[in-house]
Amino acid sequence: MAGRLEGKRCIVMGAGQTPGETIGNGRAIAILFAREGAEVFCVDRHGERAEETVAMVGKEGGRAYALQADVAKGSDCEGVVAAAMERWGGLDVLVNNVGIGGGDGPAHRVEEAAFDRILTVNLKGAWLMTKAALAVLREQGAGAIVNISSLAAVAGGTQVAYEVSKAGMNRLTTSVAASNARHGIRCNAIMPGFMDTPMAVAGIAAARGESQQVVREARNARVPLGGKMGTAWDTAYAALFLACDEARFITGAILPVDGGMGTRIG
């Protein structure tokens, strides 16, 4: 079905991406939303990366606009919503897709500065952006928020700050859903598992001093469904469903998109 977001006004945070040979979640979401008829604000801390996404949307005849902003700053988040209101006079969909790692590790080794930075960007940033958007959505009496969490929220690992930030993202999702349902606002989250994205594969390869191919093969081997990682398009199609009116009766859901990995961890 084409045009599932026809006429919708959407903000996609983290719509640029870490440079790499594959596509990232935010960029894939922005492109797919535009294909389905939405107008999209592509927001990223790196303005040039947002511009790249806008150019890709434009080549397909879609409508998108680039904006540089830092989700760790409340004023920037408010500015994103203000820019959307200035252009559109309203807002229908917010996708919180910003996430970082770097300097993380097990609880006994991670440095305080790294822990604070990851929690600030991944969790506080999503809250700041959600708070800014809710000021508009509650007045409208309608809207959808899609949070990009991670299977790391429920799977034990060795990246304590990232895992805690994504567990918090899940709880932020259910809290926002519960307190805003009466205002016609839906809030859901996606938990991607192993995805073949630049941030995941290239970042891990660099941290371990291994080739991307070695990392890719090891990750593929751990995925039950087909023995291969998903892609950003798998995340994007899940986000499309949760953002569109087909999901009008779904809120507070945490949707795994993980090739069955969650079935192995409970």
Active site amino acids = 162
- Residues facing 66 on adjacent strands: 42
**Burial of 119 from C-beta contacts in 10 A (0-12 / 13-18 / 19+):** middle
Q: Cβ(4)–Cβ(89) under 8 Å?
A: no
Q: Give dist(CA 188, CA 71) in Å, integer.
A: 19
Query: What DSSP string runs through the chain?
Result: ---TTTT-EEEEET-S--SSSS--HHHHHHHHHHHTT-EEEEEESSHHHHHHHHHHHHHTT-EEEEEE--TT-HHHHHHHHHHHHHHHS---EEEE-----SS---TTT--HHHHHHHHIIIIIHHHHHHHHHHHHHHHHT-EEEEEE--GGGTS--S-HHHHHHHHHHHHHHHHHHHHHGGGTEEEEEEEE-SB--IIIIIHHHHHHT--HHHHHHHHHHT-TTTTS-B-HHHHHHHHHHHHSGGGTT--S-EEEESTTTHHHH-
**Token pair 């945490």: residue:** 254
